A and B are shown apart, each in its own frame.
Chain A
Amino acid sequence: MERREFVNKGIRLSLLLSLAGLTGSLLQNTFSDDYVWQIDANKCTQCGRCVTSCILTPSAVKVVHIHDMCGYCDLCGGYFKPETKNLTTGAENQLCPTNAITRTYIEDPFFEYNINEDLCIGCGKCVAGCDAFGNGSLQLQVRHEICVNCNQCAIATDCPADAFKRVPANKPNLFKGFSGEGADFKT
């Protein structure tokens, strides 16, 4: 019996040592901050998978409007369907399938656009419209207060553009052409 105890002790000790070794080697490339998932707006192709692939319904991916980049256009490529003739807020003219963008008159000829994130489902239709005809001020981003930060993001596995990546939690946005903090643009 004593011999068995001794063997056990030896094995336990070596296991402990190997666990310590493992931890040591892991600490080599560790990271004190946490990671969160984010879409790289530069890579996003607005394929529409964010709507269905996220484990949450509605998706944690929403469109973000960067007003600093917006041209406040009357004819907004992100708001109106491409062939729209009468620039009114009627449902037949709106690109957004869920009525999540509001259009407010500021002064002639400028309009401000805002996103109602409760309604946004992250389809990216407006993003594609703004990219094609406007400044690209509408961009899809993961909203971290909604995202549960899965260990393996389900959208990341489905994303055809490989646009999802882990980013440090202290820099949680990946905008296109915009640094995200102030009003300055990246060159």
Chain B
Amino acid sequence: MKPLNKDFWKKIVYFAAIFAIFISILLIINYIQYSKLDPVNAKLIENLVQRLNEDPNNEALREEIRTIDLLSRKAYFTSQWQIKMGGYLLLLTVILLVIAMQMTLFGKKEVEFLEKEDTFFAQAKARKWIIYSAIGILFVGFISAFLSHQQLNNNFLAENTNFSKTKKEEKENNFKTELADEELADSAFSDTITVQTDSLNIKLSPFPTNKEIAENYPNFRGIGGNGIIYKKNIPTKWNGQTNQNILWKVKIPLQGYNSPIIWGNFVFVSGANDSKREIYCYEINTGKLIWKHQVKISGSPSTSPKVTPDTGHAAPSLATDGRRVYAIFSNGDILAVDMNGNQIWGRNLGVLGNHYGHSSSLILFQDKVIVQYDQKQEAKVMALNTLTGKTIWNTPRKVKISWASPIVVNTGKQTEIILAADPFIASYNPYTGKENWKIDCIFGEVGPSPAYADGIVFATNEYANLSALKLGEKPEILWQSDEYMSEVPSPIATKDYLFLVTSYGLVACYGAKDGKKLWEHEFSNGFYGSPMLVNNSIYLIDIKGITHIFRASDKFNLIASNPLGENSTCTPAFSDGKILIRGKENLYCFGK
């Protein structure tokens, strides 16, 4: 066998080793450079694009962005390629190194005889060192155990007991509610409130009679949420800019798109931002803030979900039965406060999967708060006990997210909860939550609530259609139209007519039974607030705050257009002789 040229291989070993080290260093440098390149968060380009958005005609800037973008992408992919190639090169070098190393060792059979270690002493020494290291491990273990002794677990357990504690505190200490300064100043006034609520308490049945409800304005769009109310002496002429017929105007501390509700002499609204949620109670004759309640609920997430500015954190309107006021917010907090603003119960229904923000208003049926909770995951409708907040029934729904509100209407034989969400209009039994019927006729991001009149349910949504559903033994589609549809405002129906309001300013009137279009009128502004039918007149507020009043008849007949002096996306509320309008910032009360 030819003797190997060991020196040659040795040289190769050195050469390959040095080369491998060299490549490794290059690779590390390249890697550091590469890790600095982050195409996903390219701040420079983002800034430039922002500048371009402000100045869209700057062609030079546009070119600059394109060039920088190209260069940065090139740098990113070239670095990636270099690292990959470097890796292969290093691998090849290492293989060469290994081969060369094996060659230098090849055939090498030098036998060395070493001094034999004395087994006895070697083992004794090994034992000693094992004991040392065991003590070392034990020591490290003890130190780490001592430093973190049950720390995590205690933290978590403490956090959990905190939850239950706050719950208890809330229950025991109902007087935590912050009373407004005005109320403290005017003690005589507060006395009358207590007297009034006390007198209410005396005759308190678990839920109000129909007569009581009819005298008040207990939820979004009045009784049943159907938009039709019976009130006397509603003003037809006012002007928020010139203070014509204005009774009072107050600034609501926190913003919200919920509409006012009224019980007795009290008006309730809520407001929220992403850290605070509040309920306000105003006196209807003077506009005085009677109380405000800051919502604190155990189990509520520490930060609010993301919502769009046109929906906000307090879009759902409140509901009241004259015993308690119920409110729900964008983070899933639902609560009841008594008429003095003390929290009775509160719970969190779980994070809402809703990319604009939750906006379905609450509605009551007897002793139940009906919550339409059509979220991304686990859409459902549920009824909570008004006194305790416990779930009475919970019906899952196979629907997409909906921003519509429930209506509760008596359809002749029975009372039904009617809900609109992609893909169907469905009716539920308010006692059990069982589904009565459903009809596939709607899709998209449903905003308008259904309307009901004389055995017909009307539902619409932008890009879907306008459907009239005839109830009966077997509910069916009576007629459909796809000429005009609404995105946000709900329709309103009477025995004979259906009034459809669109978000871009068009109002159309249809024959309720046949779907024949009777008239249409285009207003100059769009509508977000829903129409209300009072004394055969329709009150409809546009997004600039102008309330149009027109006859509910087969001819378009405008009675008045009353400016608010402020934008509004809410629906007005009514009390005898008064109309309450929530603007973007202020709450107005008009009356004679």
Contact with A along B518-559 (1 / 0, CB 8 A): 000000000000000000000000000000000000000000
A92 contacts B65, CB within 8 Å?
yes
Interface SS of chain B: helix, strand, loop or mixed? helix
- Decide yes or no whether B70 CB sits under 8 A from chain A: yes
Question: A121 to B53, alpha carbons, bound, how many Å?
Answer: 26
Q: How far is the CA of A123 from the CA of B56 in the complex (A)?
A: 27
Q: How far is the CA of A155 from the CA of B52 in the complex (A)?
A: 36
B38-78, CB < 8 A from A: 39-40, 42, 48-49, 52-53, 56, 62, 65-66, 69-70, 73, 76-77
**Judging by beta carbons under 8 Å apart, are B62 and A92 in contact?**
yes
- In the assembled complex, the Cα of A91 lies from the Cα of B398 at a distance in Å of 41
Q: Is A51 an interface residue (CB 8 A)?
A: yes
Cα–Cα distance between A51 and B56 once the two chains are bound (Å): 32
A62-91 CB mask vs B (1 if < 8 Å, else 0) is 000000000000000000010101100011
The answer to whether A92 and B52 touch across the interface, beta carbons within 8 angstroms, is yes
Partner of B62, one of A51, A90, A187: A90
Question: Please, which residues of chain A bring their CB within 8 A of the CB of B40?
Answer: 48, 51, 97, 121, 123, 125
> Which B residues touch A98, using CB under 8 A?
39, 73, 76-77
A86 vs B83: C-alpha distance when bound (angstroms) = 38
Is A91 in contact with B65, judged by CB distance below 8 angstroms?
Answer: yes
Q: How far is the CA of A187 from the CA of B424 in the complex (A)?
A: 13
A58–B40 CA distance with the chains assembled, in angstroms: 13
A146 within 8 A of B: no
Of the four ranges (under 10, 10 to 19, 20 to 34, 35 or more), the interface on chain B belongs to 20 to 34
- Interface: B355 (CB within 8 A): yes
Query: Contact partner of B70 among A48, A58, A91, CB < 8 A?
Result: A91
Q: How many A-B residue pairs have CB under 8 A?
A: 42
A32 is an interface residue with CB less than 8 A from chain B = no
CB atoms of A132 and B355 under 8 A apart: yes
Interface majority SS (helix, strand, loop, mixed), chain A = loop
* B364-393 residues at the A interface, CB under 8 angstroms: none
Given A97-B40, A125-B40, A132-B355, also A91-B53 (CB < 8 A): no
Q: How far is the CB of A63 from chain B (nearest CB, A)?
A: 13
Chain B neighbourhood of A86, CB < 8 A: 56
Contacts of B48 in A (CB 8 A): 92
Q: Taking each of A81, A86, A97, A123, which has the highest tally of chain B beta carbons within 10 Å of its own beta carbon?
A: A97
Q: Is A29 an interface residue (CB 8 A)?
A: no
Q: A81: which of B49, B66, B77 is its contact (CB, 8 Å)?
A: B49
In the docked arrangement, what's the CA distance between A83 and B53, Å? 7
Q: What separation, in Å, do the CA atoms of A3 and B243 have in the docked complex? A: 112
Chain A residues engaging chain B, CB cutoff 8 angstroms? 48, 51, 57-58, 81, 83, 85-86, 90-92, 97-99, 119, 121, 123, 125, 132, 187
Enumerate the 9 nearest inter-chain pairs by beta-carbon distance, A residue then B residue, closest first. A91-B69, A97-B39, A92-B65, A91-B66, A123-B40, A83-B53, A92-B49, A97-B40, A92-B52
Interface CB pairs A-B, < 8 A, 10: A51-B40, A85-B53, A92-B52, A92-B65, A97-B39, A97-B42, A98-B73, A99-B69, A121-B40, A123-B39
